Amino acid sequence: MITLAWSRLRYRPARGLLLMLAALALGLLAEPSALFVLAGALYVLAGALLADPDLRTLSILGWAPWGLARLVLAGYGLAGLAAAVVAAPLAALIDGTAAAVGAAALIPLVLAAAAGAGCFAQAVREGPVAERRPSPAPAPTTATAEGSGAR
């Protein structure tokens, strides 16, 4: 799973790097406050907007949701971990208190997980259907919902 997640991250380094840098910056601010809650929410949204076509493909091919969740956790966890590894020593240099270092290490991980959760939520919402609507062709069998027996 880690190898697969790493391959994906390496293939789209911009995604991982952006996530890492943003998490790093917020990690260095290191104030578990309203800003952090807001950032977490934004990361979930960002994850949903980033989308992840691979998750949908895997879902179509028969990966169960827990498998997708593990992949997301592994991938975004790697990005968060990398950011935490950079942020914690930087925080130690800037502000040597244990709380600052701990927060700088933890916050990138939490934010990366939030972004991953956004991606995952979107994949689950979209489901495995390759094309939700039938082709836009003449449809003489069209009927009202009441008359068609549709559920």
Residue position matching structure tokens 């697969």: 4
Helix (H) or strand (E) holding 25: helix 13-29
Decide if residue 3 touches other proteins (CB under 8 A): yes
96 vs 151, beta carbon nearer other proteins: 151
In whole angstroms, the minimum distance from the beta carbon of 151 to other proteins comes to 5
Residue 20: other Cβ atoms inside 10 A: 26
96 vs 134, beta carbon nearer other proteins: 134
29 vs 121, beta carbon nearer other proteins: 121
Closest CA to 51 of 110, 109, 123, 113: 123
Residue 80: other Cβ atoms inside 10 A: 30
**Which x/- pattern over 79-98 shows residues binding other proteins (rule: CB under 8 A)?**
--------------------
Asked if 79 and 112 touch (Cβ cutoff 8 Å), the reply is: yes
Decide if residue 134 touches other proteins (CB under 8 A): yes
Encode 97-114: b = buried (16+ Cβ within 10 Å), e = exposed. eeebbebbbbbbbbbbbb
The size of the interface with other proteins (CB under 8 A), counted in residues, is: 40
Decide if residue 14 touches other proteins (CB under 8 A): no
Pick the stretch among 29-37, 80-88, 97-105, 132-140 that binds other proteins (CB under 8 A): 132-140
Residues in contact with other proteins by CB under 8 A are: 1, 3-4, 7-8, 10-12, 54, 57-65, 128-145, 148-151
